[in-house]
């Protein structure tokens, strides 16, 4: 339980950093880190299918697409960074406050007591899940990766060449 709370705190912190940081590259890295931490949490909460998808699609493919996009953007000056930082802080100062209030409220509500959810049997072996149970999802995942690769080539690589 304590480890899960630490992981959730790390997750929220990295998500806030992703939203509030000025540089696009740092924001993309922050997103990948957030996804990776979320995947760890999912593994710990016995949801390996979700964890594998989170890790491969969000932390992998989407990060690669963001990095490809960022490589075609221009640099900004230090003065612009300072200005953007001020603007970002002014716009998002409420975000950490909301997250802390939401965390306090959620810890006070006992969902299990209200809804009394049934426990479900869960298959924990990722290999069995992917290769024996979720073939269609795996095929879909392969096609998503293909689509991502086409996107990078068409929208970013060829654009840069033009």
Task: Name the site residues for other proteins (rule: CB under 8 A).
Answer: 49-50, 115, 117-118, 120-121, 132, 134-137, 139-144, 146-148, 150-151, 153-155, 158-159
Q: Which residue has the tokens 């072996």?
A: 125
Q: Which is nearer to other proteins, 6 or 139 (CB)?
A: 139
Q: Which is nearer to other proteins, 25 or 146 (CB)?
A: 146
Q: Which is nearer to other proteins, 77 or 120 (CB)?
A: 120
Q: Of 42, 58, 69, whose CA–CA distance to 141 is shortest?
A: 58
Q: Which is nearer to other proteins, 125 or 158 (CB)?
A: 158
CB of 121 to other proteins, least distance (A): 7
The Cα–Cα gap between 84 and 157 comes to 28
Token pair listed for 158 = 């060829």
CB of 86 to other proteins, least distance (A): 25
Q: Are 20 and 92 in contact (CB under 8 A)?
A: yes
CB of 83 to other proteins, least distance (A): 23
From residue 34, alpha-carbon distances to 11, 25, 26, 84, 109 in Å are 6, 14, 12, 23, 25
């Amino acid at each position: 339980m304590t480890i899960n709370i630490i992981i959730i705190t790390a997750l929220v912190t990295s998500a806030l950093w992703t939203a509030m940081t000025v540089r696009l590259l740092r924001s993309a890295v922050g997103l990948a880190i957030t996804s990776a931490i979320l995947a760890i949490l999912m593994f710990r909460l016995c949801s390996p299918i979700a964890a594998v998808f989170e890790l491969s699609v969000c932390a992998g493919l989407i990060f690669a697409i963001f990095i490809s996009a960022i490589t075609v953007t221009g640099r900004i000056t230090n003065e612009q960074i300072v200005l953007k930082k001020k603007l970002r802080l002014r716009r998002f100062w409420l975000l950490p406050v909301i997250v802390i209030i939401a965390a306090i409220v959620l810890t006070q509500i006992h969902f299990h007591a209200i809804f009394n959810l049934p426990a479900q049997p869960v298959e924990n072996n990722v290999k069995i899940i992917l290769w024996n149970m979720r073939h269609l999802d795996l095929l879909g995942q392969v096609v998503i990766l293909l689509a991502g690769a086409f996107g990078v080539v068409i929208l970013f690589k060829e654009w840069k060449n033009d």
